[in-house]
């Protein structure tokens, strides 16, 4: 059954074309059948080229109206430019070092043991149990692993499954801008109406009045991300209480993306679900990638009460059905890591953060020091550039360092055009080299211009 379901689109298209050829049976058609198969094959390659490196295909690109405004992601664009100029990549948020051996060994062992076929759709029982146990330790909430935990292909799929499974076309969903880019794209796929509330520097605090105004009887859900990418903000208890009270007042759901929950610097991470009366209306989303430096494994999960889990699982069943089996087994080992693992992680990331934050300050940036995540936002306007995209291109081409222009994370790009986001999930030498390059090319180039 599942084998049939996984037949590729390319194969299906070729078969349709072959059918057409048989209907027209003529000696010359054989060639046209071949060329139509080749054409179909080329179309498949074209679409894969588009999605992987963003190059423009020779045929006109085709995309549904839902996604046409997203085009190539800025991550792809900047990464291509970074490779071309051999820039040190502080743009995309993945470590340039490997995850722990004990987890990698567990994956290898799982493969050797033959755990290589489809897993149970909502997760292997051992992983559901490990997630529930971890969730209890972190939040004090006791959940049923069989009815309230869904294993997904990364947090990205957990986000998509929650939105597809729980939001109806036309429902209003509130996002805090700047936002992680998949929220907007996924909400567009479900035809939701998006309302944004902008978090502004220096502290990116939640603007209470604007948030109250954004809520209405049409608000189906609010998307919260704490610790927050790209600002490095960690939502305070007061801010979460405000969100909770508005959710309860308007009978809205909360989706809370907590992939950076282990990366905090002197701030306490609080799960929205742990606030009074919130568990029953919250889907908590998380994954293995950031905490364990294994972003390529794409093991994520959603924790929610059974009535909400039902919607999440329905969507998940038709999105990916199940997630890579051996990596689920390895995730069980990861989630059983001792407390010392998390302590070391914070110590390591604190010193990486300090290298970058202090370095950026010395170069002349106005830096908004993060309380969480592995990102730091800075104001680039001291260097006189009109926009973040212009600044980031200069940074790659002339300085040899890649960063992300954050205007793409806002519905109004002007809100972010004075900012730049750097990632510090890199080894210390790399961070120091990046700072040195910026010192050489940027330090002392501060122009008399304020934002
Ligand atoms: C806020 C946020 N959520 C989700 C993800 C994606 O998580 P995963 O790799 O588990 O899909 C990222 C990755 O950068 C992120 O920054």
**Of all atoms in ligand 1, which is nearest to the CA of residue 288?**
10
Q: How far is CA 175 from the centre of its chain?
A: 14
pLDDT number for residue 72:
67
Cα(243) to ligand 1 centroid in Å equals 22
The values of phi and psi at residue 10, to 5°, are -55, -50
From 79, 99, 156, 373, mutation site for ligand 1 pocket: most ligand atoms within 8 A of C-beta: 156
Give the model confidence (pLDDT) of 335-370 as tens digits.
Answer: 999 999 999 999 999 999 999 999 999 999 999 999
By residue count, the chain amounts to 451
Q: What class does CATH assign to 74-92+340-442? A: alpha beta
Give the model confidence (pLDDT) of 223-234 as tens digits.
Answer: 999 999 999 999
DSSP-derived pairing of the beta strands 299-303 and 282-287:
antiparallel
CA atoms of 424 and 91, how far apart (whole Å)? 9
| CB within 8 Å of 134: residues ≥ 6 apart | 335
pTM over 0.85: yes
Contact 49, 80 (CB under 8 A): no
Residue 17 scores a pLDDT above 50: no
**Of all atoms in ligand 1, which is nearest to the CA of residue 300?**
10
Strand locations in 199-334 (E): 219-225, 253-257, 282-287, 299-303
Residue 59 scores a pLDDT above 90: no
Residue 13 scores a pLDDT above 80: no
pLDDT number for residue 57:
55
Cα(41) to ligand 1 centroid in Å equals 32
101-337 folds as 3.40.640
Cα(390) to ligand 1 centroid in Å equals 26
pLDDT number for residue 77:
79
Percentage of the residues of the chain whose pLDDT score is greater than 70: 86
Q: Which residues on neighbouring strands pair with residue 89, listed in sequence order?
A: 402
DSSP-derived pairing of the beta strands 282-287 and 366-368:
unpaired
Contact 123, 149 (CB under 8 A): yes
Contact 400, 86 (CB under 8 A): yes
Cα(1) to ligand 1 centroid in Å equals 31
CA atoms of 42 and 28, how far apart (whole Å)? 21
From 161, 290, 294, 425, mutation site for ligand 1 pocket: most ligand atoms within 8 A of C-beta: 290
pLDDT, average across residues 309-335: 98
Give the angle 290-69-422 at the CA atoms, nearest 5°: 35
CA atoms of 44 and 191, how far apart (whole Å)? 27
Residue 40 scores a pLDDT above 50: no
Instruction: Label residue 288 exposed, middle or buried (CB < 10 Å: 0-12, 13-18, 19+).
Output: buried
**Of all atoms in ligand 1, which is nearest to the CA of residue 225?**
1
Residue 38 scores a pLDDT above 60: no
Cα(323) to ligand 1 centroid in Å equals 16
Cα(158) to ligand 1 centroid in Å equals 10
**Of all atoms in ligand 1, which is nearest to the CA of residue 153?**
11
**Of all atoms in ligand 1, which is nearest to the CA of residue 287?**
10
Residue 110 scores a pLDDT above 70: yes
Going from N- to C-terminal start, the domains of the chain cover 2-49, 74-92+340-442, 101-337
Average pLDDT, rounded, for the chain:
87
Tell me the CA distances in angstroms from 213 to 130, 210, 222, 337, 394, one per residue in order: 40, 5, 13, 43, 39
DSSP 205: B
Residue 441 scores a pLDDT above 50: yes
Residue 54 scores a pLDDT above 90: no
Q: In this structure, which residue's CA is closest to atom 16 in ligand 1?
A: 229
Residue 34 scores a pLDDT above 60: no
Cα(77) to ligand 1 centroid in Å equals 19
Three-state DSSP at 100 gives coil
pLDDT, average across residues 241-258: 98
Residue 286 scores a pLDDT above 50: yes
Tell me the CA distances in angstroms from 114 to 102, 120, 325, one per residue in order: 19, 15, 10
Residue 31 scores a pLDDT above 90: no
Residue 438 scores a pLDDT above 50: yes
Contact 30, 36 (CB under 8 A): no
pLDDT number for residue 71:
66
Residue 139 scores a pLDDT above 60: yes
| Residue among 199, 195, 262, 257 nearest 226 (CA) | 257
CA atoms of 425 and 433, how far apart (whole Å)? 14
Cα(222) to ligand 1 centroid in Å equals 17
Q: Give the best-scoring range by mean pLDDT among 24-28, 50-54, 253-257.
A: 253-257
Q: 29-33, 87-91, 313-317: lowest mean pLDDT where? A: 29-33
Ligand 1 lining (C-beta closer than 6 Å) = 93, 154-156, 180, 225, 229, 257, 259, 287, 289, 295, 298, 300
CA atoms of 27 and 21, how far apart (whole Å)? 10
pLDDT interval class at 415 (50, 70, 90): very high
DSSP 323: -
| CB within 8 Å of 156: residues ≥ 6 apart | 182, 298, 300
Between 411 and 332, the higher pLDDT residue: 332
Residue 389 scores a pLDDT above 60: yes
Contact 131, 299 (CB under 8 A): no
CA atoms of 418 and 78, how far apart (whole Å)? 17
Does residue 8 have a cis peptide bond before it, meaning omega lies within 30 degrees of 0? no
Plot region of 89 (φ>0 → left; ψ -120 to 50 → alpha; else → beta): beta
Give the model confidence (pLDDT) of 205-217 as tens digits.
Answer: 999 999 999 999 9
Up-side HSE of residue 69: CA atoms within 13 Å toward CB? 11
| Residue among 376, 374, 394 nearest 385 (CA) | 394
């Amino acid at each position: 059954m599942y084998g049939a379901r996984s037949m590729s689109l390319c194969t299906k298209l070729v078969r349709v074309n072959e059918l057409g050829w048989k209907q027209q049976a003529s000696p010359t058609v054989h060639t046209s059948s071949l060329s139509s198969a080749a054409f179909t094959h080329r179309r498949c390659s074209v679409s894969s080229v588009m999605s992987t490196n963003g190059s423009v295909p020779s045929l006109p690109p085709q995309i549904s109206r839902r996604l046409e405004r997203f085009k190539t992601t800025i991550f792809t664009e900047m990464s291509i430019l970074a490779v071309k100029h051999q820039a040190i990549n502080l743009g995309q948020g993945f470590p340039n070092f490997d995850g722990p051996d004990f987890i990698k060994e567990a994956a290898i062992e799982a493969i050797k043991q033959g755990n290589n076929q489809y897993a149970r759709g909502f997760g292997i029982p051992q992983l559901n149990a490990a997630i529930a146990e971890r969730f209890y330790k972190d939040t004090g909430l006791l959940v049923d692993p069989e009815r309230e935990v869904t294993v997904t292909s990364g947090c990205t799929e957990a986000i998509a499954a929650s939105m597809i499974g729980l939001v109806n076309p036309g429902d209003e969903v509130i996002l805090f801008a700047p936002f992680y880019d998949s929220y907007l794209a996924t909400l567009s796929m479900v035809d939701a109406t998006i309302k944004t509330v902008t978090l502004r520097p220096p502290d990116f605090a939640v603007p209470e009045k604007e948030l109250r105004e954004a809520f209405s009887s049409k608000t189906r859900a609010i998307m919260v991300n704490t610790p927050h990418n790209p600002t490095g903000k960690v939502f305070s208890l007061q801010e979460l209480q405000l969100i909770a009270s508005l959710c309860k007042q308007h009978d809205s759901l909360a989706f809370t993306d907590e992939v950076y929950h282990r990366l905090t610097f002197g701030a306490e991470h609080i799960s929205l679900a742990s606030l009074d009366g919130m568990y029953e209306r919250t889907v908590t989303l998380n994954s293995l990638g950031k905490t364990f430096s294994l972003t390529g494994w794409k093991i994520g999960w959603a924790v929610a009460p059974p009535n909400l889990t039902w919607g999440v699982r329905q969507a998940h069943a038709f999105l990916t059905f199940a997630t890579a089996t051996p990596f689920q087994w390895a995730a069980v080992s990861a989630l059983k890591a001792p407390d010392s693992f998390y302590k070391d992680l914070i110590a390591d990331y604190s010193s990486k953060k300090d290298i970058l934050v202090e370095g950026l300050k010395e170069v002349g940036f106005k830096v908004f020091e993060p309380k969480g995540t592995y990102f730091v936002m800075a104001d680039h306007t001291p260097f006189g550039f009109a926009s973040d995209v212009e600044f980031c291109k200069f940074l790659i081409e002339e300085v040899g360092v890649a960063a992300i222009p954050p205007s793409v994370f806002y519905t109004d790009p002007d809100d972010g055009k004075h900012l730049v986001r750097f990632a510090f999930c890199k080894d210390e030498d790399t961070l120091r080299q990046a700072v040195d390059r910026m010192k050489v090319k940027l330090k002392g180039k501060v122009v008399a211009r304020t934002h």
